[in-house]
Structure formats: structure tokens, C-alpha cells
């Protein structure tokens, strides 16, 4: 059974996980990126703007004297480059983790179909029953599996993930399914910070799409990425 308490961003969980678990999860989206002509979205590198966003994020963490008990990133180039630039400033290099990459082309048809069904409300009970647990659902199931593997290695402490907008939306939809339409509608900005606290069975959204740390670059956080087009970009 899962009981919801407080506002929509606070969820009380009764799950298989230990109720003594205390995790602070930092979700950082990669910097601005652009696919190179003739290549795929997998190899899309950061633009110069994206590199500056990542450097600014790392400098912010350094001034906060922040480090991670586990620091991970997706294998896609833009996430790895972002995580490395941040890591150089906090003295901590990322470990590449499977399962937390952006939506793959082959996942798109099943995801679109599943979302059409989900919007009818037919899956609400299922989503509520699978908060923080393994779940069978396009993309979200794969991301949840990757997250559970990370949590098994770090049952407490601060975990940093440098990932993608779709992955962050998936994690938010996993923990806060009542607002899943919002998470899929509104994509977080480049190098934004979203924080979730998992404490004694509670999932609490501490910070969402925060970009203030980017300072003079804050206005660029929601500037368009060109990871699917080699003809445009910044």
C-alpha cells in the first residue's frame, strides 16, 4: 500500500526498500548540445555554450563544497562531457552507467502508445503501486532498473546523475505519478538541477529545474538543443 501525504511533491512510500534509507538525489541535465552532420544523436557533443554551462555548474558545486557518494552519467557523449567538466571542478570523475541514457529511437513507438493509454487514467493504480519499485513501462522501466541498481550500491548519501531531459522526466514520473503529465510536458533546462530526497520511505521534491547557479548563462538554459538535427545549432 502507498499513502500520499502533504502536497503533491511529497509522497509517503511503503516499499520493499529499507525505511532507514536516506538519499539525496541530484539530477543534472547535460549542457546544450548539437548533433554533428552525418552522425547520430548518440554522439552529439556539447556546443561551446554547453561547455560553459557545465563549467559554471561545476564551479557552483565547488563553491558549495559539494561532493557525491556516487557520481554517474549516461554513456551518451553530451552527458559524459558535461559530467567530466563538472567532475574536473569538484575533483570527482563520473562512472558511466547503463539504463540512464535518453529515449532510444526503438522506444518511441511503444512509449507513444503507452502514454495514450496512460492519459485515460487506466494505469493510475499501477503507477501508484510501483512508486520507487521496478516497473514494466517503455523507457521508464529501463530507467527505474538503472536507478535501483545505483541505489543498491548507495543505499544512503548524496548521488549525482548527469543525464537527459527524458530521463529526469521519467524519474519524476516514477516517484510523483500524480503529476506525470507535467513532467513529460515541461522539459528541464540544460545544466539545471533537480533534487529529490528519499528519507524513511518518503520521496520529497526539494528543487525542480533550478538554473540560478548558471548566473549570466541562466537565460540560455532553455535554449533549444539540436541533437536530432545536423543543420542547425548554437
* Domain spans of the chain, in order of start: 24-220
| Collapsed DSSP state (helix, strand, coil) of residue 41 | helix
Tens of pLDDT, residue by residue over 43-66, are: 889 999 999 999 999 999 999 999
134 contacts: CB under 8 Å, gap ≥ 6: 141, 144, 145, 148
CATH class in words for 24-220:
alpha beta
Q: What is the torsional sign of CA 30, 32, 37, 41?
A: positive
pTM over 0.75: yes
Q: How far apart, in whole angstroms, are the C-alpha atoms of residue 179 and residue 192?
A: 19
The secondary structure of residue 67, as a DSSP letter, is -
Structure confidence at residue 112 as a pLDDT band (50, 70, 90): confident
Report the mean per-residue pLDDT for the chain.
Answer: 88
pLDDT recorded at residue 39? 77
**159, 231 Cβ separation under 8 angstroms:** no
Q: Which of 145, 160, 187, 213 is nearest to 27 (CA)?
A: 160
Amino acid at each position: 500500500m502507498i499513502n500520499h501525504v502533504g502536497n503533491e511533491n511529497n509522497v509517503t512510500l511503503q516499499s520493499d526498500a529499507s525505511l532507514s534509507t536516506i538519499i539525496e538525489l541530484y539530477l543534472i541535465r547535460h549542457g546544450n548540445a548539437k548533433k554533428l552532420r552525418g552522425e547520430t544523436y548518440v554522439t552529439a557533443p556539447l556546443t561551446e555554450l554547453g561547455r560553459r554551462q557545465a563549467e559554471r555548474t561545476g564551479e557552483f558545486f565547488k563553491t558549495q563544497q559539494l561532493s557525491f557518494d556516487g557520481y554517474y552519467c549516461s554513456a551518451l557523449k553530451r552527458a559524459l562531457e558535461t559530467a567530466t567538466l563538472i567532475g574536473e571542478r569538484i575533483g570527482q570523475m563520473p562512472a558511466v552507467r547503463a539504463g540512464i541514457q535518453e529515449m532510444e529511437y526503438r522506444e518511441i513507438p511503444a512509449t507513444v502508445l503507452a502514454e495514450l493509454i496512460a492519459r485515460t487514467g487506466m494505469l493510475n493504480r499501477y503507477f501508484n503501486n510501483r512508486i520507487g519499485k521496478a516497473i514494466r513501462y517503455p523507457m521508464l522501466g529501463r530507467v527505474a532498473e538503472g536507478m535501483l541498481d545505483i541505489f543498491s550500491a548507495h543505499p544512503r548519501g548524496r548521488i549525482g546523475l548527469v543525464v537527459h531531459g527524458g530521463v529526469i522526466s521519467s524519474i519524476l514520473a516514477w516517484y510523483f505519478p500524480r503529476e506525470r503529465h507535467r513532467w513529460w510536458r515541461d522539459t528541464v533546462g540544460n545544466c539545471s538541477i533537480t533534487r529529490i530526497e528519499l528519507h524513511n520511505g518518503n520521496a520529497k521534491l526539494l528543487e525542480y529545474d533550478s538554473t540560478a547557479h548558471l548566473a549570466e548563462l541562466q537565460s540560455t538554459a532553455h535554449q533549444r538543443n539540436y541533437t536530432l538535427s545536423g543543420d542547425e545549432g548554437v
